[in-house]
């Protein structure tokens, strides 16, 4: 066979160059579309910029940073309202309410119940409640059942709660104080998503046992620091009533929690100095499992100390692995859920919405007055 004509070779080369150029243009367009969908930055999702990960042991948090601040000073948190006396939480049988017409003698609201308290907001600001926040006292410690807003000056509110102190039903005072604690994700999930008292009790006593099998194989994962034996020891020595606070603040457990939380806090402060952080995405080992985000950095900062401690409890309750989550894992986790939707609304006050898709559940709380603002957003990779 003779040599290939030069014009044929040139044609092949030209076609090759054109195909390569077309591929570059196509990839550029795809990249531009991705960037446009994420606000022009591959590290931006849903209006947040994902900061550099902060890692210690098997806990990693990815800061969510905003360039637009929202004023949330019109809302009070539960801890500050209880501390100031602007809010009062009591056992149901101890709360006094007026008749529907506002006249006549006050009447009592009935006998005490495990899963219901009464909250009165005496303050001048609407009160923000988050699922998993602990209130201490009464006949037993409880946690808030779900996110909601309580308007200022509202009638005494029957408040859905879950018990986190299984072995007590006595108390010298019917009133509750700020627990300054939020339960770790394995317990929060049982309250906020499953809405099951039985599962809440099991998660309090069992740490994160149900999630441990997913955190890594026996060949790559070390035994959790907060093991079932450590929890049982804390109950026996410091928490005979199985109080959540006493278990996870006991010498057998609390020292490790404080050390991990302290290490993470110092690293987080250095990594986010000067940034407007409004939330975090949380990974345990290589598994992205949780996210809390708020409407403002001020609101985030008010919850951050107890949120961080709750993440530390969860991390220590899971087997330790050397795996770490990637930015792509976080971006995928932050993708909006498109599954079944449940919604609850109190007109003029708030809208609560839950979306579930596969193993994920996404919950958002919107304030409706004085304007519509998404105050809190939560997403969880479900263990139950």
The residues, ordered by sequence, that sit 6+ positions from 291 with a Cβ below 8 Å of its Cβ are: 64, 279, 280, 281, 282, 333, 334, 377, 378, 379, 380
Q: What is the pLDDT along the chain (384 residues), one digit of tens a residue?
A: 445 454 544 544 444 434 444 443 333 333 333 343 344 455 777 889 999 999 999 999 999 999 888 999 999 999 999 999 999 999 987 655 443 344 433 344 568 899 999 999 999 999 999 999 999 999 999 999 999 999 998 899 999 999 999 999 998 778 899 999 999 999 999 999 999 999 999 999 875 443 434 444 444 568 899 988 899 999 999 999 999 999 999 998 999 999 999 999 999 999 999 999 999 999 999 999 999 999 999 999 999 999 999 999 999 999 888 889 999 999 999 999 888 999 999 999 999 999 999 999 999 999 998 889 999 999 999 976
State how far the Cα of 166 lies from the Cα of 300, in Å rounded to an integer: 31
DSSP 123: S
Cα atoms in the Cβ-side hemisphere of radius 13 Å centred on 253: 33
β-strand partners of 281: 62, 291
Q: Tokens 């499953």 identify what position?
A: 194
Output the CA angle 91-112-206, nearest 5 degrees: 85
Domain ranges in the chain are 45-98+107-381
Distance CA 46, CA 379 (A): 13
User: Exposed, middle or buried: residue 27 (CB in 10 Å: 0-12, 13-18, 19+)?
Assistant: exposed
Asked whether the bond before 331 is cis by omega within 30 degrees of 0, the reply is no
372 and 289 in contact (C-beta within 8 Å)? no
Long-range contacts of 251-255 (CB under 8 A, 24+ apart): 253/226, 253/313, 253/316
* pLDDT score of 384: 62
Q: Are 352 and 365 in contact (CB under 8 A)?
A: yes
State the pTM of this model.
0.84
DSSP string, 151-164: -TTPPPEEEEEEES
Of 294, 276, 369, 312, the C-alpha closest to 68 is 276
């Amino acid at each position: 066979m003779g040599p290939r004509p030069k014009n044929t070779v040139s044609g092949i080369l030209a076609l090759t160059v054109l195909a390569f150029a077309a591929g570059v243009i196509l990839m550029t367009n795809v990249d531009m579309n991705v960037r446009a969908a994420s606000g022009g930055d591959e590290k931006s999702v849903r209006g947040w910029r994902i900061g550099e990960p902060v890692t210690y042991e098997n806990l990693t948090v990815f800061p969510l940073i905003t360039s637009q601040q929202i004023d949330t000073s019109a809302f009070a948190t539960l801890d500050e309202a209880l501390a100031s006396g602007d809010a009062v939480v009591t056992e149901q049988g101890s709360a006094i309410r007026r008749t529907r017409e506002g006249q006549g003698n006050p009447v009592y609201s009935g006998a005490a119940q495990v899963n219901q308290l009464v909250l009165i907001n005496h303050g001048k600001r609407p009160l923000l409640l988050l699922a998993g926040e602990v209130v201490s006292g009464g006949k037993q410690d409880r946690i808030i059942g779900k996110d909601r807003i309580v308007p200022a000056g509202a009638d005494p509110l029957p408040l859905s709660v879950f018990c986190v102190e299984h072995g007590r039903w006595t108390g010298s005072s019917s009133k509750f104080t700020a627990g300054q604690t939020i339960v770790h994700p394995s317990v929060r999930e049982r309250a906020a998503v499953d809405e099951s008292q039985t599962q809440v009790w099991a998660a309090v006593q069992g740490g994160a046992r149900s999630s441990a099998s997913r955190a890594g194989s026996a060949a790559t994962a070390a035994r959790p620091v907060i093991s079932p034996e450590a929890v049982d020891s804390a109950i026996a020595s410091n928490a005979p009533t199985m109080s959540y606070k006493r278990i996870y603040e006991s010498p057998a457990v609390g020292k490790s929690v404080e050390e991990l939380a302290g290490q993470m806090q110092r690293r987080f402060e250095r990594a986010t100095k000067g940034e407007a952080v409004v939330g975090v995405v949380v990974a345990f080992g290589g598994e992205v499992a949780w996210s809390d985000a708020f409407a403002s950095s001020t609101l985030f900062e008010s919850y951050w100390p107890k949120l961080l401690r709750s993440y530390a409890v969860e991390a220590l309750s899971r087997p330790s692995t050397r795996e770490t989550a990637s930015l792509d894992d976080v971006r995928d986790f932050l993708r909006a859920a498109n599954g079944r939707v449940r919604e609850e609304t109190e007109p003029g006050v708030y809208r609560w919405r839950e979306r579930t898709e596969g193993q994920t559940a996404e919950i958002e709380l919107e304030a409706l007055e004085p304007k519509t603002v998404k105050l809190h957003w939560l997403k969880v990779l479900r263990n139950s």
